[in-house]
Amino acid sequence: MELIFYGVVAGTVAGMIPGVGIFATLLLLYPWLIDLPVIDTFIFYLALTSTTQYVGSVSATILGVPGESSSLPAVYEGNTLFKKGEGGTAISGAAMGSVLGAFLALGLITLVSPYLEYVYLFFNTYVQAIVLWTVLILMTFSSNKNRLISFALAGFGYYLGYVGCDIITGFGSCHVPIDHPDVTTGLPFMSVVAALFVFPQLIKFVEPSLIGPTDQKKNTLIEHFRYFFSNIGAAIRGSVLGFFLGFTPGGSTALSSNTAHRAEVRREKKRGTYEQGNYRALVAAETANNSAAFTTLLPLFILGIPFAASEALFYDIIITKGFVFQQNFDMSFFMTTIAYNLVIINIIAFMIAWPFAKYISLIYLVPQRFLNAAVFIFLCYIMWIVGANYLQSEYYLIVFFLLLPIGYLIRHYDTMPLVFAFILQDRFYMNAHTLYDLIRNML
C-alpha cells in the first residue's frame, strides 16, 4: 500500500500540471525508482499512470487546461459543462467512466492472459523483429503531420543511441564522434530524453484560462450514479473502442479518447441531440482513455515493446533491474502484481479525483512559468546526482545542455519516434541482422 500511496500522490501532481505528465514525473524520480525492487516499481508505475488519467480530466474540466492531448475532449465538453454550472456532473461522469473503462479493459485482458505463453513463443521468432520495425514505422506515420520530420526524428534518435561502444550485443564496435572516454559509454539516457522530450514540453507555455465564479448545481451522490447509469451505453462504447485502439503505437490514449469523442458526437448529431457540453460524448472519451491506458501496456508486458514515451522510460528502468518482459511476465505475475493492484489503485484514484476537484485550481495560483522553471532546475539536479553514480556528473549535464537547442527547435513536433528509436536502438540493430538473415534465407 505504501507504493500505491506514493504513486497516487505523484499521479495527482502529474495530472495537475500541464507539461509535466507521467514521463517527466518518472524522470524526476529516476534515482529513487532505480533502487526500488521490481515489484514495487511496477506497483508505483501503475498507480502513477492510473491516477494521472483521473486527475487530468478534473483539471481539464475546471480550468480548460489539457494536461495531455488525451484530455482535449474533457476541455471541449467538460469545461463547457462546468461553465454551464454542471461541473459536478461532468467530473462524476468522467470519474465513473474512467473506472468502468479500466475494469472492462482489465476483464478483457484477463480473458486473453492464459494465452500469453503462445504469444511468447510466436514472437520469439522472426516475427518479433518484424513487429518492432512495424511499430516504429506506424509511430512515425501517426505522430506528426509531416512524416519526413517523423522519420528524421526517428533516424536522429537511432544515431544518438548508436553513439558509444557496443559491449552488450557482442559486435564490439565503437562509434565515437568525439575522442573522449565518457563518450565511449554512450550518451546518457536521462540527458537525451530530458533535453529532447521533457524540455520541449515545458517550453510549450500553457496559461490556464481561469473563468469567473460559476454557480454549480448541487446533486446528491445517488443522482450522480443514476444519471451515469442512464447513459452507460456511451461508456461501454468508449471502453470497447479504447480497448482495441490501445494497441496503436504512439499516442494510443490520445487516439482512443479523441476517436471515441468524435464517434459519440457524430451519433448525437444524427439523433439531433448534440450541443457542446455533451455528457455522453465526455463519458465515451474518458472511458476510452482509461481503457486504452491499460491495453497499451500489453505490448510492453508481452513483447517488451513500449508504445508511449512513459512506457519507454519505464522499460529502461525495469530492464536495468534484470527483468526480462518476454521471460518473466506470465499469468501468475499478471494476476498477483498487475490485476490485483490495478483494482485497488483505480478505486483509490476514483475516490480521490472526485472530491479533489474543489482544490485543484489552487495549483494555478502559481504562474506556469515558475512551475516549469522549478521542474527544469530539479531536472538538472537529478542529472547531476544520477551522473555522480557513474562518476559522470559533468558529462550528463554537458550532453543535456548541448542538446537543449535541438529540443527548442523541435518543440512543435511529437518527439516520441526519437525517444523510441533511441531507447531501443540496440534491439533495432540486432533485429535488423535478424531480418537480413531471414531475407537472405528466403532468396
Give the range among 74-78, 86-90, 176-180, 207-211 with minimum mean pLDDT: 207-211
Q: Give the DSSP letter of residue 50.
A: H
Q: What is the pTM of this model?
A: 0.67
Q: What is the pLDDT of residue 156?
A: 92
- Whole-number pLDDT of residue 51: 84
C-beta separation of 303 from 117 below 8 A: no
Whole-number pLDDT of residue 74: 78
CA-nearest of 354, 304, 329 to 116 is 329
Cα torsion 256, 225, 232, 76: sign: negative
Residue 101: per-residue pLDDT: 82
Neighbours of 145 (CB within 10 A): 8
Cell 509511430 belongs to 139
Q: Which residues contact 432 (CB under 8 A, 6 or more apart)?
A: 129
Question: Could you tell me the CA-to-CA distances from 95 to 102, 304, 347 in Å, in that order?
Answer: 11, 30, 10
Give per-residue pLDDT as tens, 49-69.
888 877 777 777 776 655 555
Strand 164-165 versus strand 174-175 pairing type: antiparallel
Segment 70-120, tens digit of pLDDT? 666 777 788 788 878 888 888 888 888 888 887 887 787 777 666 655 655
Contact in structure between 309 and 419 (CB atoms under 8 Å):
yes
The more confidently predicted of residues 236 and 301 is: 236
What would the 3-class secondary structure string for 248-288 be?
CCCCHHHHHHHHHHHHHHHHHHHHCCCCCCCHHHHHHHHHH
Determine the pLDDT at residue 429: 75
Q: What is the pLDDT of residues 293-318, one digit of tens each?
A: 777 777 777 767 776 777 878 888 88
What band does 211 get if pLDDT is binned at 50, 70 and 90? Answer: very low
CB 58 within 8 A of CB 352: no
> What's the grid cell of residue 87?
461541473
Find all residues with CB under 8 Å of 366, minimum gap 6, and list them. Answer: none
Q: Count CB-CB contacts under 10 A for residue 174.
A: 11
Question: Residue 403's pLDDT band (boundaries 50, 70, 90)?
Answer: very high
DSSP assignment of 302-355: HH----SHHHHHHHHHHHTTT--HHHH--HHHIIIIIIHHHHHHHHHHHHHHHH
